Amino acid sequence: MEKKVNIHEAAEGLKNGKTILYPTDTVWGIGCDASNEEAIQKVNEIKNRDGEKSFIVLVDSVAMLERYVTDFPDVCYDLIDFTEEPLTIIYDQPRNLPKALLAKDGSIGIRVTNDMNCKKLIQKIRKPLVSTSANISGKPTATQFDEIDESIISSVDLILNERTKEVMRKPSSIIKVGSNHNVKVIR
């Protein structure tokens, strides 16, 4: 299989445990099927990152999000519905996700993506998608494909051949909604 693939080939690769380099609704990301622990470990290796760091997970809808969050405060519906920019929310007590994705405190950052390619990938694999910035840990985030480190390009299994000339935005805003329903802005 060619490394640069279309959305259908990318989805098949994700189902088979492959890692992918792909444009998100924020920046270029490295991802995999969020239920595949071997693929998650490979993403850590590609980024040269500490396995202790948590990941952001993308879902295609609030309905999918609710399958992975034990306590979904009502304020989250409003935050997701009314935000105009990509928003990642950190939730306490996630469920049905591998421990390899979670932060030390057991929380997880999840974003309902508005990007149509990301939605299609998620819908085709019927699982959340790991999303971490396409950079070596500690290095600047790439805002366009040409800025991605060659070691990442050579290490991922597949590259989604979409929007490679587009300048991406910036990372999402991140907030944490605690089990007491308090909202804290992280980024």
Q: What are the structural domains of the chain? A: 4-185 (3.90.870.10)
Mean pLDDT lowest among 7-11, 23-27, 136-140: 136-140
Q: Is the dihedral of CA 145, 146, 147, 152 positive or negative?
A: positive
Distance of CA 171 to the CA centre of its chain: 11
Is the pLDDT at 82 greater than 90? The verdict is no
- 21-25, 113-117, 120-124, 146-150 — which one is most confidently predicted on average? 120-124
How high is the pLDDT of residue 172? Answer: 83
Share of the chain above pLDDT 90, in %: 60
Q: How sure is the predictor about 32, in pLDDT bands with cuts at 50, 70 and 90? A: very high
Is the pLDDT at 23 greater than 60? The verdict is yes
CA dist list (Å): 181 to 97, 150, 162 = 21, 42, 38
Q: Tens digit of pLDDT for each residue in 62-73? A: 999 999 998 888
Is the pLDDT at 12 greater than 70? The verdict is yes
Mean pLDDT of 102-128: 95
Is the pLDDT at 37 greater than 90? The verdict is yes
Distance of CA 19 to the CA centre of its chain: 12
Residue 162 or residue 65, greater confidence: 65
Q: How sure is the predictor about 1, in pLDDT bands with cuts at 50, 70 and 90? A: very low
Q: To 10 degrees, what angle do helices 116-125 and 7-15 make?
A: 40
Mean pLDDT lowest among 69-83, 90-104, 115-129, 173-187: 173-187
Angle made by CA atoms 37, 43, 49, in degrees to the nearest 5: 110
CA distance 81 to 169: 20
Mean pLDDT lowest among 83-97, 125-139, 154-168: 154-168
- Average pLDDT over the chain, rounded to an integer: 89
